[in-house]
Amino acid sequence: MVTPILTKNQSLVLDALAHAEAPLSAYTILDKLRDHGFRAPLQVYRALEKLQEFGLVHRLESLNAFVACACREDHDHTHHHHGVTMFAICEGCGQVTEFHDTGMEERLALLVKKQHFKTEKTTIEIRGHCQNCV
């Protein structure tokens, strides 16, 4: 999918996430954007929904929070990846690292195939501590 033009609300939400050090909850985003006219949770959730469709934002299920996709740091989009995304979530500093591995994807695909299961969305989240947080 080619990156679509974002609406004002979508841009605001994406910027908030992109500039954050850690995942943000929808309500935290709402608070950050009150000065920009945001008044209700739905404004945030609607923007998040679209941004997730576009692959620009990920939802972290184990945190009920959201992060900007790492591909945003890759301005040439040379690394933009559409397979399974994995997250390492540090309980210490809150930082989230996104990573990918085709080997994992293949192995997982094989496992679900054996069960005759049709995958639609895969969630892989590792909670723990990063190098700096012991």
Q: How far apart are CA 72 and CA 75, in angstroms?
A: 6
Q: How many residues bind DNA (CB under 7 A)?
A: 21
Rounded to an integer, what distance in angstroms lies between the CA atom of residue 110 and that of residue 37? 48
Stretch that binds DNA, among 19-27, 88-96, 98-106, 107-115 (CB under 7 A): 19-27
Q: Which member of 25, 52, 95, 122 binds DNA (CB under 7 A)?
A: 25
Nearer to DNA, 37 or 128 (CB): 37
Contacts of 134 (CB under 8 A, 6+ apart): 92
Stretch that binds DNA, among 14-22, 44-52, 106-114, 116-124 (CB under 7 A): 44-52
Q: Binding string, 90-109, against DNA, x = CB under 7 A?
A: --------------------
Q: Confirm or reject binding of residue 89 to DNA (CB under 7 A).
A: no
Based on the shown chain and the rule CB under 7 A, indicate whether residue 1 belongs to the binding site for DNA: no
Could you give the angle at which helices 41-53 and 8-18 cross, rounded to 10 degrees?
80
Half-sphere exposure of 70 (CA within 13 A, CB side): 15
**40 sits near DNA (criterion: CB under 7 A):** yes
Q: What's the one-letter identity of residue 56?
A: L
Check binding of 62 to DNA (CB under 7 A).
no
Q: What is the DSSP letter of 83?
A: S
Strand duo 57-60 + 65-68: pairing? antiparallel
Q: Is 8 in the site for DNA (CB under 7 A)?
A: yes
Q: Which residues line the annotated binding site for Fe cation?
A: 105
